[in-house]
Structure 1
Amino acid sequence: MRRVWLLPILFLTSGAVGAAGLFVWGSTRQAVIILLAFALCAALNSPLVFPRSVSAAEARRRSAVDGRPVVFWRPGCAYCLRLRFRLRRHARRLHWVDIWRDPEAAAAVRAVNDGNETVPTVFVAGRAHTNPDPAWVRAQLTRPAR
């Protein structure tokens, strides 16, 4: 659990230290700007911007019922963030699995990516697609269920 929040905490701590230094030197406006910029980076790299994660087993079960893709991701991944934001409101319709919270999910990703935890890895109808185009993923949502 700590691993998921490490990067956001580092961003907030760095921003606070930098802002404190600027504040001491009398640059209040710059201190506020620095603190806000680092807080934004922390928010973007936290699990809060992603839909709620489920376990790999639960995601597979749900996908078997509704035919929606399963996305394996991890916090701090720029490509996962890109996928999330380019999907916009459609992202909530996917089943998201955080590989840092679920060892079974990490193993599934390693199994299809030559031993690497390359994310995002999207499973559609049992087939893995590593770092797919967000437009393609969105199109998979409009396909009829199996």
Structure 2
Amino acid sequence: MMRAWILSMVLVLCGSVVATGLILKGDPGTAAALLAAFLVLAGVNSPLIFPASIGALEAQRRSMADGRPVVFWRPGCTYCMRLRIRLGRGARRLHWVNIWQDPEAAAVVRAANDGDETVPTVVVAGRPHTNPDPRWVREQLPPSA
């Protein structure tokens, strides 16, 4: 679990060091702006943005049982963040698989994308869709119970 926070912690630490240096040089305005930018980057790359990842096999098993799409993603991916943010609360109704944590997931994505690890790759009813429109993904969700 701690590994998921490493990038966010490094961004906060770097932002703090840069801001401290700028404050010591007498530029607190720029320091505050840069620190805010680093904090935003840390938040966007934190586990708070994405629902908890599960393994590829577990996601596929769950998807077969409940009909929900599986999203293969990786930290730092701009398109994955766009999909997650545009789905809003509906994102929690998908099964999210981090391809950097699961080698089987990375293999599934490579098989779907001619050997490339292109994410987000969304699997709906066994068919992969690379970087689909968030509205389309929302339409693929089964009705809420």
**Same fold by TM (over 0.5)?**
yes
Q: Which residue of 1 aligns with 2:93?
A: 93
Q: Which residue of 2 aligns with 1:114?
A: 114
1:31 CA drift (Å): 1.9
Q: Distance in 2 between matches of 1:130 and 1:103?
A: 18
Q: Which runs of 4+ in 1 moved over 6 A?
A: none
Q: Is contact 1:7–1:76 with CA below 8 Å preserved after alignment?
A: no
Q: Which residue of 2 aligns with 1:132?
A: 132
| 2:31 counterpart of 1:31 | yes
Aligned-partner residue type, residue 104 of structure 1: E
Q: Which residue of 2 aligns with 1:40?
A: 40
Residue-pair matches, total: 144
Q: Distance in 2 between matches of 1:101 and 1:140?
A: 25
Structure 2: give runs of 5+ residues left out of the alignment.
none
1:21 CA drift (Å): 1.3
Q: Distance in 2 between matches of 1:42 and 1:69?
A: 27
State percent identity of aligned pairs: 62
Structure 1: give runs of 5+ residues left out of the alignment.
none
Q: Distance in 1 between matches of 2:7 and 2:115?
A: 24
1:45 CA drift (Å): 1.9
Q: Which residue of 2 aligns with 1:81?
A: 81
Cα 1:78–1:129 shift into 2, 3 Å: same
| Higher deviation after alignment, 59-68 or 8-17 | 8-17
Q: Secondary structure at the match of 1:97?
A: strand
Q: Distance in 2 between matches of 1:126 and 1:142?
A: 15
Aligned-partner residue type, residue 100 of structure 2: W
Q: Secondary structure at the match of 1:116?
A: coil
- Give the TM-score, by structure 2 length: 0.89
1:34 CA drift (Å): 1.7
- Give the TM-score, by structure 1 length: 0.89
1:3 CA drift (Å): 7.4
Q: Is contact 1:120–1:131 with CA below 8 Å preserved after alignment?
A: yes
| 2:102 counterpart of 1:102 | yes
1:30 CA drift (Å): 3.1
Q: Distance in 2 between matches of 1:3 and 1:142?
A: 32
1:76 CA drift (Å): 0.1
Q: Which residue of 1 aligns with 2:22?
A: 22
Q: Which residue of 1 aligns with 2:50?
A: 50
Q: Distance in 2 between matches of 1:112 and 1:143?
A: 27
Q: Distance in 2 between matches of 1:4 and 1:103?
A: 16
Aligned-partner residue type, residue 85 of structure 1: I
Q: Is contact 1:122–1:131 with CA below 8 Å preserved after alignment?
A: yes
